[in-house]
């Protein structure tokens, strides 16, 4: 019997191969998409599962009186907490301190280095592949590698006991290798070192005080710890010990499980978006199959009746139909698996890998995803085969045998609702894509207050081996550049637009009694002219005038406004409660967008720093005559190839750097585009099946109308107008929702495009055209049929 | 006695009025009879046949089939009853288009859960008997109307029914094909004692039967 069912199912699928392949296509893409989205969500959720007892781990968040907050605290606080709080089992700092260069054999490499207390493994009992947790970080000169780094350096060998040379002088012994860590995990490290090694570092000693909050603090608490009590005790310690406790409003103790959400808020949106998208895509696929299957069942009413007369049972009919759908779903799961591994996963890593880390699929870890996919398949199969069968199965045989269908009037309302729903979602996604697209275009094209074209940007922060030699070669290069006829301006600076440090400093002006937080950077005399940023008041930096002991500053217009100044005559930037004379303000530059347009232009100060201080600057910017970029690039690259450094010199241009700020958003746009296409495709697929079925049902009506003189066009309109109406209703539902959603999203941008009517019109148009095309093909086919033939069918 | 209908009424409600499809039908059928039901369109011929075949219900009256009272039986038993004892032949054949001739014949046996070897034997036997062995791997759409109806009759017979109900079995056939099918019915009735009730418009076909029942507006005349 089963073989018989199977044979029949295959034959049925083959007979309707057009519809079957459309179904297969829709299902495969749909399931593939859902699989990808769900996998990324899954990978995210299990990423920190590698940490045992995560619910007992907490970290500190410092809330400032001015409303700002950060996840760092002062370094000595942890020891104080440990000595006063019995609920703390163990605690560790976890901070960077520059990434030192490590040497093994002839290879040198620089990895993200994280410093932790020897107690680290008592807090985060991360499993070790090699080595011993309890002793790994005990020795001052020890280092623990991640699995990735270990493989990179030593292959599959166990490197424990080997020596790495750090910063040319220190011999570090490898004491452990961590098990692989998911890139979605909160641990973004390559190399773990005991912070005892920093104790002799002068800079570190200076910062190890009760004023500089630079170190995140993690603690493992007893399971029975009273969090509120603990938090208030920490608050008390802050009050008693901090140099200036008034700037701190409170210390929050936060569970480690929330750390990722807390540190990258956009993750929450992406996860929610992923879940919602998968849900809707799945729903669309389901609704679609339901619709198509219902039509199929209509066509088979006679079949079912005959089967029943011949003695078939309801169960048999349902089994047969389940099998048919099951084959389809199983096939599409296989195809979507291929899509997932061959295309979607690499593509996703392409788009989001740079920001969130690449994820990989391994069967041993990720088998729940496979199981989930199969379970999903079974569920989909059951729903889409059983629901449509139910109504037809109970149709009286004597009616079924005549192929009577009218008794199913009620289902049209349901089906129309489905169609409206499908299209409103599809149109919603198109709207989102259109608006997202125009926002990104706007941000990329906007006037930024500087000229981004024809500026070569080189990264000169290269860890030079011989600083003096590098400096003199660099000075020669600068002279050559200034002499080069193709070069109009040259500048070296600590930052360029798109890459300014988040280095905020508080200044106080006694005249206006204002306290202003300025973002601080360093630039030479050529910076503003190279970028063509206008001076509003005063003057630009000048090499001859400014090379004295007193370093002048230039602030931007926003900063001037914030201070409430109308002139810069005699103004100086000073810290509050400071006896120093401060730095003279020599000019005001026009506001320019030194960060992406999601953020407003904040008050900014540039400190003067001479152009040839190679070790302090990070960027070389060169404005070139149009068309001569290549020559100048080659010249600079050649000069740097002669300077010995650990990193290789890289260069690009300012325009690329600026556009690069929107990489993540570009990725989002790509994803939304794909989803929009997918949803409209799936919706049209359903529509396609429906109209072909409707045309069949109305074959007689069409024949009669044609005999009575209706033209092909009239019949096409007749067949499609109801559906176009449904699409319009879908659009009407989608527009306000899209407007509301995108308005909320755009309000997060300091500079955004206004949402305009044409965006919705465009989205509606796209949906309409695609639908009309789909409908048209089928409708024309039906309308062209010979009426003599169609009227003869009984 | 094979079956007996007593005071059968069937109606539909239309605009608050009862429209009678069958009105006070009384009918006794003995085993081995060959009955033709005649009457103009809409006189209730097919409805009567459906009621006899238990494909349709009736609103009033009593129906005994092989001394089981059908009107008191539940749907499930009723379908078991007709599966066992009744074979249907339709005007438009109603073969399953997705199945080959052979598979169409096998279908009723599958539902009766007959063993595979036995099924094969029965089908082969039937193919042989109707001389359609050469057509066994063809699909119904590849056959002429007459051949399709031949398969339809064969399919009705394969379960060894006591009664064959035929609703205008020759309605879609040309005269020569009709002749063949009617000859076949006659032979089955004579030689194997299968009871046959057919609905027909044709006087000529009706004459093959041993008894004619005339219907007009749902009433027996």
* Per-residue three-class SS string for A753-782: CCCCHHHHHHHHHHHHHHHHHHHHHHHHHH
CB atoms within 10 A of CB A485: 7
HSE on the CB side for A560, CA within 13 Å? 22
Residue A73 DSSP SS3? strand
Across A572-598, average pLDDT: 86
**What pLDDT was estimated at residue A354?**
63
By the 8 A CB rule, do B94 and A401 touch? yes
- Looking at the domain assignment, is residue A64 inside a domain? yes
Q: Å from B210 to nearest chain A CA?
A: 27
pLDDT tens for residues A458-484? 998 887 888 888 888 999 999 999 899
Within 8 A by CB and 6+ apart from A105, the residues are none
Q: Å from A719 to nearest chain B CA?
A: 28
Within 8 A by CB and 6+ apart from B22, the residues are B8, B9, B10, B11, B44, B47, B48, B51, B58, B218
Do residues A638 and A695 both lie within one domain?
no
Do residues A615 and A689 both lie within one domain?
no
CATH 3.30.70.580 holds for B3-220: no
Bridge partner residues of A492 (DSSP):
A620
pLDDT tens for residues A683-713? 888 777 777 777 777 777 788 887 777 788 8
Encoding tokens for residue B170?
């020759």
- Looking at the domain assignment, is residue A178 inside a domain? yes
Answer with the one of A238, A263, A288 that is the final residue of a domain. Answer: A263
Q: Is the pLDDT of residue A409 over 60?
A: no
**Strands, DSSP E only, in B71-111?**
86-89
Whether B136 has its CB under 8 Å from any CB of chain A: the answer is no
Beta strands at B34-38 and B195-199: parallel, antiparallel or unpaired: parallel
Question: Which of B88, B99, B112 is the closest to A309 by Cβ?
Answer: B88
- Looking up tokens 């990808």 gives A36
Do residues A644 and A542 both lie within one domain?
yes
Across A538-550, average pLDDT: 85
**What pLDDT was estimated at residue A264?**
63
CB–CB contact A398 B99 (8 Å): no
Do residues A584 and A606 both lie within one domain?
yes
Nearest CA in chain A to B116: A1
Interface predicted TM-score of the whole assembly (ipTM), two decimals: 0.78
In order, the DSSP letters of A505-545 are: EEEEETTTTEEEEEEEEEE-TTHHHHHTPPEEEE----HHH
Average pLDDT, chain A: 84
Do residues A618 and A688 both lie within one domain?
no
Across A540-553, average pLDDT: 85
pLDDT tens for residues A10-62? 888 888 787 788 788 888 888 888 888 888 788 777 777 888 888 899 999 88
Answer with the one of A244, A263, A282 that is the final residue of a domain. Answer: A263
In order, the DSSP letters of A398-424 are: HHHTTT--GGGTHHHHHHHHHHHHHHH
**Domain residue spans in chain B?**
3-220
Q: Is the pLDDT of residue A794 over 50?
A: no
Whether B157 has its CB under 8 Å from any CB of chain A: the answer is no
**What pLDDT was estimated at residue A566?**
87
What is the 3-state secondary structure of A572-587? EECCCCCCCCCEEEEE
Answer with the one of A263, A280, A308 that is the final residue of a domain. Answer: A263
Do residues A106 and A251 both lie within one domain?
yes
Q: Å from B26 to nearest chain A CA?
A: 22
CB–CB contact B94 A306 (8 Å): yes
- Mutation target vs A (from B83, B89, B137, B140; most A CBs, 10 A cutoff): B83
Give the whole-number percent of chain A exceeding pLDDT 70.
96
pLDDT tens for residues B124-181? 999 998 888 999 999 998 998 889 988 998 998 888 899 999 988 888 888 888 898 8
By the 8 A CB rule, do A558 and A497 touch? no
Residue A221 DSSP SS3? strand
Across A778-790, average pLDDT: 78
Reported as a pLDDT band with limits 50, 70 and 90, residue A263 is low
- Looking at the domain assignment, is residue A68 inside a domain? yes
DSSP at B192: I
Listed residue (A210, A21, A191) closest to A110, CA to CA: A191
Torsion of CA A22, A28, A30, A33, to 10 degrees: -150
Q: Is the pLDDT of residue A744 over 80?
A: yes
Encoding tokens for residue A4?
């018989």
More confident residue, A127 or A698: A127
Rounded Cα distance between A556 and A605, Å, is: 7
**Residue A130's domain spans which residues?**
50-263
Residue A570 DSSP SS3? coil
Torsion of CA A183, A185, A260, A506, to 10 degrees: -70
By the 8 A CB rule, do B178 and B147 touch? no
How many beta-carbon pairs under 8 angstroms link A with B?
A: 47
**What pLDDT was estimated at residue A392?**
72
Most confident region among A239-248, A554-563, A568-577, A676-685 by mean pLDDT: A554-563
Q: Is the pLDDT of residue B4 over 80?
A: yes
Do residues A542 and A681 both lie within one domain?
no
Rounded Cα distance between A135 and A118, Å, is: 8
Torsion of CA A638, A643, A646, A648, to 10 degrees: -10
HSE on the CB side for A419, CA within 13 Å? 26
Do residues A67 and A165 both lie within one domain?
yes
Nearest CA in chain A to B46: A398
- Looking at the domain assignment, is residue A189 inside a domain? yes
Lowest mean pLDDT among A637-651, A774-788, B194-208: A774-788
**What pLDDT was estimated at residue A407?**
47
CB atoms within 10 A of CB A215: 24
- Looking at the domain assignment, is residue A418 inside a domain? no
Per CB-CB distance under 8 Å, the chain A contacts of B79 are 308, 311
Provide residues of A within 8 Å CB-CB of chain B. Answer: 1, 4, 8, 11-12, 15, 302-303, 306-313, 316, 396-398, 401, 794
Per CB-CB distance under 8 Å, the chain A contacts of B94 are 302, 306, 401
Rounded Cα distance between B119 and B106, Å, is: 7
By the 8 A CB rule, do A289 and A325 touch? yes
- Looking at the domain assignment, is residue A108 inside a domain? yes
Do residues A62 and A164 both lie within one domain?
yes
Within 8 A by CB and 6+ apart from A566, the residues are none
CB atoms within 10 A of CB A45: 12
By the 8 A CB rule, do A159 and A130 touch? yes
Whether B39 has its CB under 8 Å from any CB of chain A: the answer is no
What sections of A64-109 are H helices per DSSP?
Answer: 77-84
Do residues A632 and A737 both lie within one domain?
no
Within 8 A by CB and 6+ apart from B125, the residues are none
3-state helix, strand, coil in chain B (%, to 5): 40, 25, 35
Number of domains composing chain A: 3
- Mutation target vs A (from B94, B158, B161, B171; most A CBs, 10 A cutoff): B94
CB atoms within 10 A of CB A473: 18
Give the whole-number percent of chain A exceeding pLDDT 90.
16
Across A126-136, average pLDDT: 87
CB–CB contact A302 B94 (8 Å): yes
Question: What are phi and psi for residue A399, nearest 5 degrees?
Answer: -80, -40
């Amino acid at each position: 019997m089963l073989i018989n069912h199977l044979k029949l199912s295959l034959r049925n699928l083959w007979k309707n191969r057009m519809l079957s392949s459309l179904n297969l296509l829709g299902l495969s893409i749909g399931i593939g998409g859902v699989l990808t989205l769900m996998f990324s969500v899954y990978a995210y959720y299990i990423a920190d599962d590698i940490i045992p007892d995560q619910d007992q781990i907490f970290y500190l968040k410092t809330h400032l009186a001015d409303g700002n907050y950060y996840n760092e605290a002062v370094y000595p606080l942890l020891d104080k907490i440990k000595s006063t709080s019995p609920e703390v089992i163990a605690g560790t700092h976890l901070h960077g301190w520059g990434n030192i260069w490590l040497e093994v054999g002839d290879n040198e490499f620089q990895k993200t280095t994280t410093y932790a207390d020897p107690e680290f493994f008592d807090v985060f009992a991360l499993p070790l592949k090699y080595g011993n947790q309890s002793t790994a970080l005990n020795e001052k000169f020890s280092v623990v590698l991640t699995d990735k780094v270990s493989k990179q350096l030593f292959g599959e060998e166990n490197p424990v006991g080997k020596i790495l040379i750090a910063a040319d002088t220190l011999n570090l012994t490898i004491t452990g290798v961590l098990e692989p860590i998911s890139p979605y995990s909160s641990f973004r490290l390559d190399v773990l070192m005991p912070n005892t090694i920093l104790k002799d570092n002068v800079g570190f000693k200076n910062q190890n005080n009760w004023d500089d909050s630079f170190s995140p603090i993690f603690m493992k608490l007893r399971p029975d710890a009273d969090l509120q009590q603990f938090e208030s005790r920490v608050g008390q310690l802050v009050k008693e010990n901090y140099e200036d406790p008034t700037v701190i409003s409170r210390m929050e103790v936060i569970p480690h499980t929330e750390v990722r959400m807390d540190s990258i808020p956009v993750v929450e949106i992406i996860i929610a978006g992923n879940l919602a998208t998968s849900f809707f895509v799945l729903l669309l696929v389901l609704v679609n199959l339901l619709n198509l299957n219902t039509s199929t069942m209509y066509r088979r009413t006679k079949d079912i009746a005959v089967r029943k007369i011949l003695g078939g049972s309801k169960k048999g009919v349902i089994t047969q139909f389940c099998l048919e759908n099951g084959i389809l779903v199983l096939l599409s799961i296989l195809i979507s698996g291929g899509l997932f591994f061959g295309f979607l996963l690499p593509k996703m890593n392409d788009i989001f890998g740079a920001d969130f880390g690449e994820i990989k699929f391994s069967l041993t870890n990720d088998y729940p995803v496979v199981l989930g996919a199969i379970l999903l398949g079974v569920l989909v199969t059951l729903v889409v085969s059983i629901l449509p069968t139910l109504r037809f199965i109970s149709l009286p045989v004597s009616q079924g045998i005549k192929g009577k269908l009218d008794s199913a009037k009620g289902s049209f309302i349901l089906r129309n609702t489905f169609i409206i729903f499908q299209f409103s979602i599809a149109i919603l996604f198109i709207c989102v894509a259109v608006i997202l697209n125009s926002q990104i275009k706007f941000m990329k094209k906007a006037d930024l207050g500087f000229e981004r074209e024809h500026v070569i940007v080189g990264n000169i922060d290269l860890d030079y081996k011989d600083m003096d030699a590098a400096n003199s070669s660099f000075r020669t290069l600068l002279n050559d550049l200034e002499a080069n006829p193709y070069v109009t301006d040259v500048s070296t600076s600590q930052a360029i637009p798109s890459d300014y440090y988040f280095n905020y400093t508080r200044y106080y002006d006694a005249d206006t009694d204002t306290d202003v937080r300025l973002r601080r950077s360093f630039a030479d005399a050529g910076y503003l002219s190279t970028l063509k940023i206008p001076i509003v008041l005063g003057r630009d930096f000048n090499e001859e005038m400014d090379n004295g002991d007193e370093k002048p500053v230039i602030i931007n217009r926003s900063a001037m406004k914030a201070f409430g100044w109308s002139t810069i005559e005699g103004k100086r930037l000073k810290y509050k409660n400071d006896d120093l004379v401060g730095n003279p303000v020599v000019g005001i530059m026009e506001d320019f967008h030194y960060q992406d347009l999601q953020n407003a232009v904040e008050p900014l100060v540039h400190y003067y720093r001479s152009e040839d201080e190679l070790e302090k600057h990070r960027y070389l910017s060169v404005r070139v005559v149009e068309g001569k970029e290549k020559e100048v690039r080659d010249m600079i690259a050649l000069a740097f190839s002669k300077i010995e450094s650990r990193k290789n010199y890289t260069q690009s241009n300012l325009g690329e750097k600026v556009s690069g700020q929107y990489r993540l958003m570009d990725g989002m746009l790509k994803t939304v585009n794909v989803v929009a296409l997918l949803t409209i495709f799936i919706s049209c697929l359903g529509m396609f099946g429906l109209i072909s079925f409707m045309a069949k049902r109305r074959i007689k009506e069409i024949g009669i109308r044609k005999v009575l003189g209706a033209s092909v066009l009239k019949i096409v309109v007749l067949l499609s107008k109801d559906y176009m109406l449904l699409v319009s209703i879908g659009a009407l539902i989608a527009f306000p929702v899209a407007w509301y959603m995108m308005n909320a999203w755009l309000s997060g941008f300091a500079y955004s495009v206004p949402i305009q009517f044409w965006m919705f019109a465009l989205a509606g148009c796209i949906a309409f055209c695609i639908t009309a095309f789909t409908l048209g093909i089928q409708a024309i086919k039906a309308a062209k049929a010979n009426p003599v033939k169609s009227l003869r069918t009984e | 006695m094979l079956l007996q209908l007593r005071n059968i009424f069937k109606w539909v409600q239309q605009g608050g009025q009862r429209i009678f499809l069958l009105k006070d039908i009384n009918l006794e059928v003995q085993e081995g009879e060959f009955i033709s039901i005649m009457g103009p369109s809409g006189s209730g011929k097919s409805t009567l046949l459906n009621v006899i075949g238990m494909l349709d219900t009736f609103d009033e009256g009593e129906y005994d089939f092989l001394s089981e009272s059908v009107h008191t039986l539940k749907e499930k038993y009723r379908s078991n009853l007709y599966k066992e004892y009744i074979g249907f032949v339709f005007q438009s054949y109603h073969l399953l288009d997705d199945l080959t001739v052979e598979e169409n014949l096998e279908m009723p046996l599958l539902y009766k859960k007959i063993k595979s070897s036995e099924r094969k034997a029965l089908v082969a036997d039937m193919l042989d008997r109707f001389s359609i062995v050469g057509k066994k791997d063809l699909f119904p759409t590849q056959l002429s109307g007459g051949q399709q109806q031949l398969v339809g009759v064969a399919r009705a017979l394969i379960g060894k029914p006591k009664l064959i109900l035929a609703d205008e079995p020759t309605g879609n056939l040309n005269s020569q094909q009709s002749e063949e099918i009617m000859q076949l019915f006659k032979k089955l009735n004579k030689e194997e004692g299968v009871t046959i009730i057919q609905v027909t418009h044709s006087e000529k076909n009706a004459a093959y039967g041993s008894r004619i029942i005339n219907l007009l507006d749902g009433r027996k005349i």
